[in-house]
Amino acid sequence: MPYCQSCGKEVEEGDAFCPHCGAPVTPTKAEPVTFRRGYRDERKACFGPEGSGTGLWGAISGGVFIIGLAVLWYYDFWWPGILFLVALMAVIGGIVSYTRR
């Protein structure tokens, strides 16, 4: 049985008005679930456009960082090397941000 949209009480099939409150009875149909306005724009700003390959860039930058740490450990070149690695990661991050636009 359908229910009244105003008072929530049961209404007979085919009634045009609710017998309890007098509100017009309209057939209800399921509305599709939609995202709130601006959700896609916010998601794009945070994560880049869909299919932008962020996982690939993360793997590349992580690999560069791990290999860089191994080279620094092998050559015992810590402080200047760490600064170089941080600068290199910033450059990679800038390239990734630029390619997402």
- What span, in angstroms and rounded, lies between the C-alpha atoms of 37 and 3? 30
Residue 22 near residue 32 (C-beta atoms within 8 A): no
Dig out the tokens for 80 from the structure: 């200047």
Residue at token pair 């306005």: 37
Can you give the pTM of this predicted structure?
0.39
Q: pLDDT tens digits, the chain, 101 residues: what are they?
A: 678 887 888 888 888 888 888 888 876 555 555 556 666 677 676 666 666 555 677 777 788 888 888 888 888 877 788 888 888 888 887 887 777 66
Domain ranges of the chain: 49-99
Dig out the tokens for 77 from the structure: 């070149």
